[in-house]
Amino acid sequence: MIRFLFKRLALTIPTFFALMFITFVMLRLVPGDPIEVRRGERGISPERLAQLRHEMGLDQPVWKQFLDYVNALLHGDFGTSIVSKSPVLHEFLTLFPATLELTLTAMIFAVVLGVPAGVIAASRRGGVYDQTLMGLALTGYSMPIFWWGLILVLVMSNTLHLTPVSGRVDLIKYYYPSVTGFMLIDSILSGQKGAFWDAVRHLILPMIVLGTVPLAVIARMTRSSMLEVLEEDYVRTARAKGLSWTRVVGVHALRNALIPVVTVIGLQVGGLLAGAVLTETIFSWPGVGKWLIESINRRDYPALQGGIMLIATIVILVNLFIDLLYGLINPRIRHAK
Amino acid sequence: MPSDASLPAATTTPAPPGPIRAFWRAFRENRGAVLGLAVVSLIFFIAVFAPLLAPYNPTEQFRGFSKLPPFWVEGSDPRFILGTDAVGRDMLSRLMYGARVSLFIGLSVMVVSMVVGVALGLVSAFFGGFIDVLIIRIMDLVMAIPSLVLAILIIAIIGPNLTNTIVAVTIVGLPRYVRLVRASALTELTKDYVTAAKVSGVRKFRLMTVTVLPNCLAPLIVQAALGLSDAILEAAGLGFLGLGAQPPTPEWGAMLADTRDLMLSHPWVMAFPGLAILITVLAINLMGDGLRDALDPRLRRS
Amino acid sequence: MKFNKLLGAALLASSMLVAGAANAKTLVYCSEGSPENFTPSINTTGTSFDAARPVYNRLVQFTPGTTQVEPALAESWTVSPDGLTITFKLRPGVKFHSGVNGFTPTRDLNAEDVIWSFDRQWKPDHPYAKVSAGSYDYFNDMAMPDLLESITKGDDDMTVVFKLKKPNAPIIANLAMDFAAIHSAEYAKYLLDKGTPEQFDQIPVGTGSFSFVDYQKDAVIRFKAFDGWAGKPKIDDLVYAITPDATARYAKLKANECQVMIAPNPADLGDMKSNPDVNVLEQAGLNIGYYAMNNQKPPFDKPEVRKAFAMAIDRDAIIKEVYQGAGQKAKNLIPPTMWSYDDSVQDVAYDPEKAKKMLEEAGVKDLKIDIWWMPVQRPYNPNAKRMAEMIQADLAKIGVESTLVSYEWGEYRKRMQAGEHMTGMLGWTGDNGDPDNFFAVLLGCNAEGKPNGNNIPKWCNAKFQEVVNKAATITDQAERTKLYQEAQKIQAEEMPQVNIAHSTVFEPIRKSVTGYKVSPLGSHEFQNVDITE
């Protein structure tokens, strides 16, 4: 197991360097210039542009910039945002909890609703429940989430006034320090009455929008995995022995059926982060997805570079973790290579 | 490559190469799939014959008739069945022409991904070693960056237009094809018929394309159907962010973005492009489910 | 360090809670984006200026709601007869914010602070010149390095003397702009000693009516009232809720989650005006959105062709669909609220038939052009893409075929300034209310008769240039008015570009808010605002 772990870790190191290199080169290929962008319609004289580019080190050869960048990165320095002039790592860390809170709750939402839906559908195979649930799941899976978000805002917030339209907290009623960056936790720590409920109300629509596709995927996966398990001999035997249906499905079948589901959940992480970009844009959610899009528009190279590196690192680590987990569940894989 | 194990294809047997009639019989049983196929055919029909079917030119502006609601709502104009957009263009005509754009993007992405994905996947499986590692690592890289961010970056480099949307969406979706083909081919390579072919001296290229590839086709076809709907969604997402087809091309995602400021005052204008995307993608997915079940009941999509 | 910060924030939160019990008045302003940082001199966006404005003052300021200049940190000033020396007398007893970022000022404002604030933008050897890689865009844009000879202390600590290289009429108005904010030299030294000078631009200390409390990127900025030289504001807490989406801002306003909001969707104005809880304030914007034809590319070298284009574009429809009525058809370069506006200029009427004939007479046939549209939303043009689609349709009616072109924003402007376009749209928002800021910037040419960068139609007219140059050097407003009116007549005659519209700035506020004034310069100020239950 340890050997396997080391092997996998060693394999990711070149990936990191390649990632660093590719993002760096790609960003230098993007037409546009951070200084030009922030000048808007005012423009800038060529002399001053040259001077500013020199001060920012943008006039150096790309390979030199890259070496400087790698050197700084090895010292834990992700650079400084051209726009805000504050360290990229600092910006990322202030924004990331918001994204994490959103993606985690969306995942929980998807699992909590998706698994039971899949189980119910499987146990009533071909029935009305099965068809309705799977029809809904396929619709969710086909949903353009940017549109779904707008429709939900229109109905839930603007027409029914059930939820706030954007932001994470009601700024007039509540003010508490950001301790963990997770509003759900900070609101409890603050001890202010109603603060937690307020945070939940703000979170609920973005969570639904981001959780819709994973919910559909998990429901479908659970159903098919469950159907397969229900065909197995030991389940038939259990049924024949007269064990109650609930017991058979709930205890014996579900446990085995969930193994592939767990993998699917892990594979959704990358998709969730991509979905977060659109969700955060629609709900003005102060997370890293929105920040990355804005950084592209502003040609804020250091922020983009650092942001992509950090996000990609998280995705790679999660995938590594899943591989390990899978290796634990299924020992054959360890020895396959 | 342990994560391959999560791909269902690695543990399945290929669909038995039966006659098309058997496939159709199986497909027909699935009512949802037939419905999906019918809707997809209809949309395809509309897309092809949009110039004949659409009541107006999709870029013609009827000044003084902007932001009209659809016919069943008060204040509508019977000449514009689904109403008009922000500058008075007929919504129905734009949706019909929009189907052209979306299907064109989706099919192009699918075809290019299939060709490139099959090539890279087969090469990776057959040559192994350094080439294999290189290809798989690059695919991992692509997968590590959130797809939308990567697509936006690519568009930022090559500029926003229809062709470049296809390029960006293809690159972002490519790893799925490559990994699928590679995994299927690796499974096939262990089989007796391949060994037999090798022993009888079949050349490598022929082995790859004629012997092994046809047996990897079943999961690939399912992936292609999936890829088609994914591509349409991704392209619409890019259009929504203003990075897809350029004005005045009637692209559904861009139509949605154009009317975001009218969301409160004229919700109808926003409703239709989104519905068009949803219905198209849903129909393709229904059809894809049917394809999967018919080709191999044990193939699963996640 | 981190723990201390947390503890500080927690203490602060609890102290605000206590204040909350005593019915603290909180005003929430729904702003549209995160500031770049809190030092106006290194920033360029209105959003950033708005975020720093509660904290800072300048020597002089624009009277709220106008472009008139009034005394602020300078009580009074005198200009020498030759126009080369301006002497500012500073207001005594002006206090800096105390307790922000652990800094406690030991003295009141004096000449040192003023000199420090300008030297940072000017002198490369200033200890803060390189902090935050500041590029001091506005200081350079307003040509301050070319104008300033020196800034020195006068006879006492409370006098500052500006020596100029040449007389300049608009400089007093320039000093009311945000880049001229006065910082605390003492705070700067405090941070330098602490080894954290970069915090200077992230945690601001000034003399303004509100002191900085807390900022969470993309979420919120908090200020609290400060009892300074201008008196204690009527509200206790000022909160900026950063809400990029206009629809969301309005929803928050309706729910009383904020009381003042920036930039409503023009399409929502109807609903806002009928909402009993909302007042919609409006003010003619100090801006121009225009459609420029590249005069150096045929057939746009012919005035008849340019006029035909102006006639072919249905600007009334554009005002209706692009500005949703929140704009005013433009016939001159400057908006009607600006002094020297010439109302006698005859506007071009929409007449596609005549336009078509004029094109034929000019011998233009089968014309194929490109129309450039900006990829961003600007105050003077809320939807360039929509405008481009409409102009395209209008031009099709006179037989001109066009393709729509756009680039990333920085690239777009750069290419346009280089004259790569055939036709395209851009615009301008005034900085200081001076007509020179429009005429010389937008249609100016250099001594060799080459168009300046911001001259997008690439149009040079010797007569026009002479008039505008002359107007900048004299101080008598009546005389300047005459010259600028002549310039407007020349422009109407030559039609280098089609002036589309001056947008109207709308600001919806809750009825409970009193004393709020919309600024023609697009800034947001809360010094005199009160809120009633």
The 3-class secondary structure across chain B, one letter per residue, is: CHHHHHCHHHHCCCCCCCCHHHHHHHHHHCHHHHHHHHHHHHHHHHHHCHHHHCCCCCCCCCCCCCCCCCCCCCCCCCCCCCCECCCCCEHHHHHHHHHHHHHHHHHHHHHHHHHHHHHHHHHHHHHCHHHHHHHHHHHHHHHHCCHHHHHHHHHHHHCCCHHHHHHHHHHHHHHHHHHHHHHHHHHHHCCHHHHHHHHCCCCHHHHHHHHHHHHHHHHHHHHHHHHHHHHHHHHHHHHHCCCCCCCCCCCHHHHHHHCHHHCCCCHHHHHHHHHHHHHHHHHHHHHHHHHHHHHCCCCCCC
Q: pLDDT-based confidence at A74, cuts 50/70/90?
A: confident
Q: pLDDT-based confidence at B65, cuts 50/70/90?
A: confident
**Rounded to whole angstroms, how far apart are CA atoms A24 and A66?**
7
For residue C144, pLDDT over 70 is answered with: yes
Residue that is written with structure tokens 């919806």 in the block:
C508
Pairing of strands C497-510, C423-429: unpaired
What Rg value do the Cα atoms of chain B yield, rounded? 22
Confidence (pLDDT) at B5:
40
Instruction: Give chain A's end-to-end CA distance (angstroms, integer).
Output: 13
Same structural domain for residues C518 and C454?
no
Confidence (pLDDT) at B119:
93
> Which residues on adjacent β-strands are paired with residue C427?
C289
Percent pLDDT > 70 in chain A is 96
Q: pLDDT-based confidence at B168, cuts 50/70/90?
A: very high
Report the residue from A19, A142, A322 with minimal CB separation from B281.
A142
**Rounded to whole angstroms, how far apart are CA atoms B224 and C366?**
45
A296-305, B90-99, B128-137: range with lowest mean pLDDT: A296-305
A305-314, B91-100, C463-472: range with lowest mean pLDDT: A305-314
Q: How far is A175 from chain B (nearest CA, A)?
A: 30
What number is the average pLDDT over the span B2-14?
43
Percent pLDDT > 90 in chain C is 60
Same structural domain for residues C257 and C329?
no
Confidence (pLDDT) at C16:
47
Confidence (pLDDT) at B296:
65
Containing C368, the helix (H) or strand (E) segment is: strand C368-372
C382 CB neighbours in chain B (<8 A) are: 261
In C205-224, the residues whose Cβ lies within 8 Å of chain A are 216-220, 222
The angle subtended at Cα A195 by Cα A193 and Cα A199, nearest 5°, is 160
Residue C342 lies in a domain: yes
Instruction: Find, in chain A, the residue whose alpha carbon is nearest to that of C245.
Output: A284
What number is the average pLDDT over the span A237-264?
76
B248 CB neighbours in chain C (<8 A) are: 389, 392, 404
**Chains that contact A by 3+ CB pairs under 8 Å?**
B, C
What number is the average pLDDT over the span B14-31?
71
Whether the CB-CB separation of A93 and A303 falls below 8 Å is answered with: no
Helix axes B267-295, B31-48, angle to 10 degrees: 130
A336 close to B (CB below 8 A): yes
Residue-number span of the structural domain to which C130 is assigned: 26-264+511-531
- Out of 3.30.420.40, 3.10.530.10, 1.10.1040.10, 1.10.3720.10, the CATH code matching A88-335 is 1.10.3720.10
DSSP code, position C38: S
For residue A234, pLDDT over 80 is answered with: no
For residue C116, pLDDT over 50 is answered with: yes
Q: How far from C178 is each of A71, C396, C523, CA to CA, in Å?
A: 38, 44, 10
Percent pLDDT > 70 in chain C is 95
Q: Which two tokens stand for residue A81?
A: 């945002």
Confidence (pLDDT) at C507:
92
Query: Average per-residue pLDDT in chain A?
Result: 83
Residue C12 lies in a domain: no
How many domains, chain C? 2
Tell which of A8, A23, A146, A262 to mutate to test the B interface (max B CBs under 10 Å).
A146
Torsion angles phi and psi, residue C505, rounded to 5: -90, 120
B260 close to C (CB below 8 A): yes
Cβ distance A151 to B274 less than 8 Å, yes or no, reads yes
**Rounded to whole angstroms, how far apart are CA atoms A159 and A204?**
16
Confidence (pLDDT) at A330:
58
For residue B2, pLDDT over 60 is answered with: no
Q: What CATH number does residue C405 fall under?
A: 3.10.105.10
Tell which of A150, A210, A297 to mutate to test the B interface (max B CBs under 10 Å).
A150
What number is the average pLDDT over the span C159-179?
89
> Which stretches within A153-287 are classed as H helix?
183-190, 195-231, 233-240, 245-247, 254-283
What number is the average pLDDT over the span B175-200?
87
Same structural domain for residues C144 and C240?
yes
**Rounded to whole angstroms, how far apart are CA atoms B272 and B277?**
9
Report the residue from C270, C382, C388 with minimal CB separation from B247.
C388
Query: Average per-residue pLDDT in chain C?
Result: 89
Same structural domain for residues C167 and C245?
yes
Q: pLDDT-based confidence at A265, cuts 50/70/90?
A: confident
pLDDT in tens, B210-265: 888 888 888 888 888 888 999 999 999 999 888 888 888 899 999 988 888 888 88
Same structural domain for residues C304 and C237?
no
DSSP codes of every residue in A148-169 = HHHHHIIIIIIIS--S-SSSSS
Nearest to B231 by CA among B300, B286, B284: B284
pLDDT in tens, C359-393: 999 988 889 999 999 888 888 998 899 999 999 99
What number is the average pLDDT over the span A306-323?
82
Residue C15 lies in a domain: no
What number is the average pLDDT over the span A247-259?
76
Confidence (pLDDT) at C382:
87
Confidence (pLDDT) at A252:
72
Same structural domain for residues C210 and C89?
yes
Whether the CB-CB separation of C55 and C48 falls below 8 Å is answered with: no
Confidence (pLDDT) at B9:
42
Instruction: Find, in chain A, the residue whose alpha carbon is nearest to that of B301.
Output: A221
Instruction: Find, in chain A, the residue whose alpha carbon is nearest to that of B32.
Output: A135
Taking the CB of residue C82, how many other CB atoms lie within 10 A of it? 8
For residue C398, pLDDT over 90 is answered with: yes
What number is the average pLDDT over the span B83-111?
92
**Rounded to whole angstroms, how far apart are CA atoms B159 and B179?**
29
Same structural domain for residues C296 and C259?
no
Helix, strand or coil for residue A292? Answer: helix
Confidence (pLDDT) at B6:
40
Whether the CB-CB separation of B298 and B12 falls below 8 Å is answered with: yes
What number is the average pLDDT over the span A60-82?
84
Residue C212 lies in a domain: yes
Instruction: Identify how many contiguous H helices and E strands chain A contains and give both numbers.
Output: 15, 0
Looking at per-residue pLDDT, the higher value among C472 and C7 belongs to C472
Q: What CATH number does residue C174 fall under?
A: 3.90.76.10
For residue A221, pLDDT over 80 is answered with: yes
The angle subtended at Cα C39 by Cα C37 and Cα C42, nearest 5°, is 90
DSSP code, position C458: -
Same structural domain for residues C40 and C124?
yes
Query: Average per-residue pLDDT in chain B?
Result: 84
Instruction: Find, in chain C, the residue whose alpha carbon is nearest to that of A34.
Output: C410
What number is the average pLDDT over the span C498-522?
91
What are the extents of the domains in chain A? 88-335
Taking the CB of residue A319, how many other CB atoms lie within 10 A of it? 20
Q: Is the ipTM of this complex over 0.95?
A: no
Same structural domain for residues C467 and C483?
yes
- What does chain C come to in residues? 533
pLDDT in tens, C277-324: 999 998 888 899 999 999 999 899 999 999 999 999 999 999 998 998
Whether the CB-CB separation of C159 and C88 falls below 8 Å is answered with: yes
Cβ distance A326 to B3 less than 8 Å, yes or no, reads yes
Whether the CB-CB separation of A148 and B275 falls below 8 Å is answered with: no
Looking at per-residue pLDDT, the higher value among A321 and C492 belongs to C492
For residue A105, pLDDT over 50 is answered with: yes
Confidence (pLDDT) at C276:
94
C247 close to A (CB below 8 A): yes
pLDDT in tens, C436-468: 889 988 998 888 888 887 899 999 999 999 999
DSSP code, position C231: B
Q: Which two tokens stand for residue B198?
A: 């090798």
Confidence (pLDDT) at B169:
94
Confidence (pLDDT) at C132:
81
Cβ distance C388 to B87 less than 8 Å, yes or no, reads no
Same structural domain for residues C379 and C443?
yes
**Rounded to whole angstroms, how far apart are CA atoms C521 and C529?**
18
Same structural domain for residues C435 and C321?
yes
In C111-130, the residues whose Cβ lies within 8 Å of chain A are 130
C443 close to A (CB below 8 A): no
Residue C275 lies in a domain: no
Instruction: Give chain B's end-to-end CA distance (angstroms, integer).
Output: 19
What number is the average pLDDT over the span C11-22?
45
Domains and CATH numbers, chain B: 27-53+89-299 (1.10.3720.10)
Tell which of B39, B95, B145 to mutate to test the A interface (max A CBs under 10 Å).
B145
Q: Which two tokens stand for residue B110?
A: 């699918």
Task: Return all residues near C190 (Cβ < 8 A) that are at least 6 apart.
Answer: C103
What number is the average pLDDT over the span C414-422?
89
For residue A28, pLDDT over 50 is answered with: yes
Same structural domain for residues C335 and C442?
yes
Helix axes B267-295, B20-29, angle to 10 degrees: 130
A2-6, B204-208, C211-215: range with lowest mean pLDDT: A2-6
Q: Buried b / exposed e across A248-268, counting CB within 10 Å, b at 16+?
A: bbeebbbebbbebbebbbbbb
